[in-house]
Structure formats: structure tokens, C-alpha cells
A and B are shown apart, each in its own frame.
Chain A
Amino acid sequence: MSSNQQKKQTNVSSVIEFKSSTFFAPILILFDNDIAAIELALQEKIQQAPEFFKNSPLIIDVSESNKLDCAINIADIANVLRKIGLFPVGIRGGNGQQNTQARALFIPIDTARTAGSKISDENTQKQSSVNKPSEPEKEIIEEPVVTPQSTPEPTTETTLITQPVRSGQRIYASGDLIIMSQVSAGAEIMAEGNIHVYNTLRGRALAGVQGKTDARIFCLDLQAELISIAGDYKIYEDLNKQISKKPVQIYLKDHALIIQEII
């Protein structure tokens, strides 16, 4: 948000600059290699929220389909994605052949973030301790969680905002995000961790944007245009009007957003 203007220097080294930055991209997890079925499912999803997906970058996760022996051809899936207006910008969980295909298409390969079923078990346990207990024998390993074991823990720094977040403003937090003031309609707040809004939430709130499925959103007055956790989202129209304008917490359970009133 803050832009420090740097005076232009005349020497040659000032024409480029490297900066480390974090981007937010949805992850498409494939469970099958049936291209036609995938295309149909994608089109259906996009129709629900065309603006949300318009020209969206996308990371393809093939680890699940590979586990089920349904190795998909990367060139085929990339073709389908581009045809419907999405931009594959990376793959993960691919086998040797798939990585070669990706490389040929200049699609970067994420090798560090392939494992994750263990962590998602932990998540399930954490969630079930708060929610109504789910059947213990049913293990949910659909959503690989992006916590690379090799690299150090991601930054869990908390961002605190005390000013109102106005229409058109965007806030991105690499950890948790706490907002003491209102979030106006047309504003967008995003966090890799949890989001707390101790006032009215009217804009868009996206928690767990890097795939942290146990991220939660808390707010005192829910009137949000859109809420999302780890890519699963709901728009205001779809919210149960019972919980609108009430203090709530929102979390993810079995790929469904649960909105619960906090008493």
C-alpha cells in the first residue's frame, strides 16, 4: 500500500531491481485424468463466478490423481486451462514425465510442496476439537497443505490495521490480519493466516490464501461481499441471512465454508 518513491539514478544498474514478493494463486487439485470431465467441471465452476476466475493464474496439483494412477498429460490440461481463459503458472506433485512436459511448456515446477497428507490429518483433528466430531475412521486427505518441511516456518507475523479499510483498498498480510476498524464494500483484505475484523466487514475477506485450510475469519458484523478460506468461497447472496449482521466465525470443513455465530 505504501509506495516509497525512489529517486531515479542515472547509472545503468537502476533499470532493474529484484524484489522478493508473494503472490496469491488458486491451486487446482486434480483427482482424475479425464480431460473432458475436468473441462466440464471447470466451466461449471467458472460460470458461478466469472469475474473471480477471469484471467486467473493457476497452479496445477497432480499429486492426488497420480496417487490414483491417473497420471495426466500436462500439455493436455494446460491446453484446456488456457482455452477457458486461465493461466497455468506452475505444477506440483508431478512425476518425472509430467515435469518434463511442464518444462517443455515453460511451466515452473514446485518440487518442495508435494507431501502434506500428514499435516492435513492434524488439521482435521484441530478442527474436530472445535466442531462437532467427524467420523474418526474417515481420513480427509483431499487438500494437501502447503507447509514445506525443508524450508523454515513461514512468517507468522501479525498485521494490525487500525484505520478503516476503504473501498478500493487492498491489504495483504503474510501472517494473521487484525483489523480494528470497518472494512468497506469494495475493499479486499487477504491473509495467509486468519483474519479478525473487530467491526463491520462489508468488503471481501480471503483467509488462508496460500492454501492454509485451517485459517479462519472472525468478524463482529458480517455483511461481506465475499468470504473465502483457502480458495473456497461464498458470496453475500449465498450467505444465510440468519447470520448476516452478526458476530461470526468462518472456517472450512470438508471443503465447505461453515459460518457460525459467536455468542
Chain B
Amino acid sequence: MARIIVVTSGKGGVGKTTTSAAIAMGLAKKGHKTAIIDFDVGLRNLDLIMGCERRVVYDFINVINGEASISQALIRDKNCNLLYILPASQTRDKDALSKEGVGRVLEELSQEFKYIVCDSPAGIEKGANLALYYADDAFVVTNPEISSVRDSDRMLGLLSSKSRRAERNEEPIKEYLLLTRYDPSRVKSGEMLALDDVQEILSLQLLGIVPESKSVLTASNAGIPVILDEKSEAGQAYEDIVARYLGEERPHRFIDGKRGFLKMLFGGRS
């Protein structure tokens, strides 16, 4: 039985798709067969980040409507053969998603995959609701600024009340905080909320901090999940996050912006 992870935030532009792509790749790299689904129907992006936009034939909606089988729609990743991508439809909108249809697809994927990562669209409407509905774990992606924190808080409310687990009175969704686009120098100067400020409001288990990094944009444009850029801080941060999620204990990094000794010697990219 697969573990279903939703990557969500409420607010747009905080790094949901970047995070989804990175952790899905990270899980697959660790030897777990992983599927990643783009729930942002109509605003398809994940295929670009994963670098498979030219290989999309069928999509999520085709599978929901029974126009294609799951194996026809799944795209195998070019960097890792344990990772499969189910792209969103670009020509439809969120109304094409249905609770039963999504449930059926997830059920079928669960037979074959160990992890299913659901890349949620922004907002709290149908797409986001269905992305979280069947989830077992939630990665709440938050930027260190107040509107993102408020929206994450709202999302956490929905996770605890609008999911299948909540409706069935089962064990609640396990919620994790991922603080992305964190810039320690701006935190120090008071322009950005510090980790403690965010935690005071959200009080969630912190899975990791991803520092603001130029390599994220570079990786996105190249269609390679940033986790594969092992030299970048963002790539390392996602590596840590995947390891922590899988139960490994690793100290948190990138909080105070101090450069490590090895970094100073070898001059790692920021």
C-alpha cells in the first residue's frame, strides 16, 4: 500500500512544484518506486520542472475519464527509472477532477508504487481540496512571510477537517513544515520572519529549511529537479528533507546562514 503525500501551501509561488519534484526524485533515488501527480489542471507546470513536457501524450484527466490507462499516461523519468510522472491536463480546468475519479487513480497507483506525491495547486478550491483529500502525509510549504504563514495555517485547518482521514475519524494526516526561500541574512536584518516566528504560529514538525538559492531557478529552467544538483544548498536541503522523512536524524542546516568549514574550503555554490 502506497503512502500518499500532498505538497500544499494555500498561497501560490512558494515552491510547491519545486518541492514536489525534488522530494519525489529524492524518494525514487533512495530506491522507492514513486509516482508524482500534477493536480494543477489547466496550469500544468510539473512536466516542465521534471523536464518531460515533450513526452506528454495522455494526462491525469484522460485517466480519470477512462480515455487512457494509467500505464499509458505515466511518464518514466529520464534521470531515475523508479520515478513516474502523471501530468495534468492543460486544456481543461479543475472541474474535470472528481473525488471518485481521483480516488480510483490513487487506488490503482497504490498497488504498484511505494510513494505517491500529489502536487497541489494554490488556493483552497477544488483542485487543492482533492489533492489533499486522500493524503496520508502533508508537506506544508511556507515562505517566511506573514501571508504565506496565514495561508498555511488555513491549509492546516482544511487538512484536519476536510480530508478522508478526518471524515472517517481515522488517525489524522501527518503534517510537516517545509520552510522554503529562507534567506538568513534577510532574517537577521528583520526583513523576513525567522524560523521561530513561523513556528510560533504554526507549531509543526519541521522537516527542513530550504534556503533561497539561485540554483532553484536554474534547475527549473533546465527541467531537472534541484535535488539532483548536489552541490547547491537547495539540493542538499531537499536531500536532508527526504532523509528526515524516511526516519533518518539529521541536524537542521541553513538556519543562521553560517557557511560550513568545508564550504569555505571548496566554495560551494550558494
Task: Give me the interface of A with B, judged by CB distance under 8 Å.
Answer: 1-5, 163-169, 182, 184-187, 200, 202
B154 on the interface (CB 8 Å rule)? yes
Whether the Cβ atoms of B154 and A2 lie closer than 8 Å is no
Q: With A2-B161, A2-B167 given, name 11 new contacts (CB 8 A).
A: A1-B161, A164-B156, A165-B157, A166-B156, A167-B150, A167-B153, A169-B157, A184-B157, A186-B150, A186-B153, A186-B154
8 A Cβ contacts from B143-172 to A = 150, 153-154, 156-158, 160-161, 166-167, 169, 172
B132 to chain A: closest CB distance in Å?
13
Query: Which residues on the A side are within 8 Å of B154 (C-beta)?
Result: 166-168, 186
Residue interface bits B183-205, CB-to-A below 8 A is 1, else 0: 00000000000000000110100
A81 to B100, CA, bound (A): 47
Q: Which of B167, B200, B203 contacts A164 (CB 8 A)?
A: B203
Q: Which of A5, A166, A169, A200 contacts B167 (CB 8 A)?
A: A5
Whether the Cβ atoms of A163 and B160 lie closer than 8 Å is yes
Select from chain A the residue with minimum beta-carbon distance to B172. A163
Task: Give me the interface of B with A, judged by CB distance under 8 Å.
Answer: 150, 153-154, 156-158, 160-161, 166-167, 169, 172, 200-201, 203
- Shortest Cβ-Cβ A-B pairs, 4 listed: A166-B157, A167-B153, A167-B154, A169-B157
B151 to chain A: closest CB distance in Å?
8
Query: Which residues on the B side are within 8 Å of A169 (C-beta)?
Result: 157, 161
- The A interface is mostly helix, strand or loop, or mixed, namely loop
Whether the Cβ atoms of A3 and B167 lie closer than 8 Å is yes
Query: Which residues on the B side are within 8 Å of A164 (C-beta)?
Result: 156, 203
Query: Which residues on the A side are within 8 Å of B150 (C-beta)?
Result: 167, 185-186
Query: Which residues on the B side are within 8 Å of A200 (C-beta)?
Result: 200
Given contacts A2-B166, A186-B154, contact A166 B203 (CB under 8 A): no
A14 to chain B: closest CB distance in Å?
20
Whether the Cβ atoms of B167 and A168 lie closer than 8 Å is no
Q: Which of B157, B161, B167, B169 contacts A167 (CB 8 A)?
A: B157
A85 to chain B: closest CB distance in Å?
28
A166 to B167, CA, bound (A): 17
Given contacts A164-B203, A182-B203, contact A187 B157 (CB under 8 A): yes
Query: Which residues on the B side are within 8 Å of A3 (C-beta)?
Result: 167
Select from chain B the residue with minimum beta-carbon distance to A199. B203
B55 to chain A: closest CB distance in Å?
39
Q: Which of A1, A4, A163, A166 contacts B153 (CB 8 A)?
A: A166
B56 to chain A: closest CB distance in Å?
35
B32 to chain A: closest CB distance in Å?
30
Query: Which residues on the A side are within 8 Å of B203 (C-beta)?
Result: 164, 182
Query: Which residues on the A side are within 8 Å of B157 (C-beta)?
Result: 165-169, 184, 187
A165 to chain B: closest CB distance in Å?
8
Select from chain B the residue with minimum beta-carbon distance to A4. B167
Query: Which residues on the A side are within 8 Å of B200 (C-beta)?
Result: 200
Query: Which residues on the B side are within 8 Å of A186 (C-beta)?
Result: 150, 153-154
B138 to chain A: closest CB distance in Å?
12
B128 to chain A: closest CB distance in Å?
13
Query: Which residues on the A side are within 8 Å of B166 (C-beta)?
Result: 2
Query: Which residues on the B side are within 8 Å of A184 (C-beta)?
Result: 153, 157, 201
A4 to B172, CA, bound (A): 16
A118 to chain B: closest CB distance in Å?
42
Query: Which residues on the B side are within 8 Å of A182 (C-beta)?
Result: 203
Query: Which residues on the A side are within 8 Å of B201 (C-beta)?
Result: 184-185, 202
Query: Which residues on the A side are within 8 Å of B153 (C-beta)?
Result: 166-167, 184-186
Query: Which residues on the B side are within 8 Å of A1 (C-beta)?
Result: 161
Query: Which residues on the A side are within 8 Å of B169 (C-beta)?
Result: 2
A165 to B156, CA, bound (A): 9
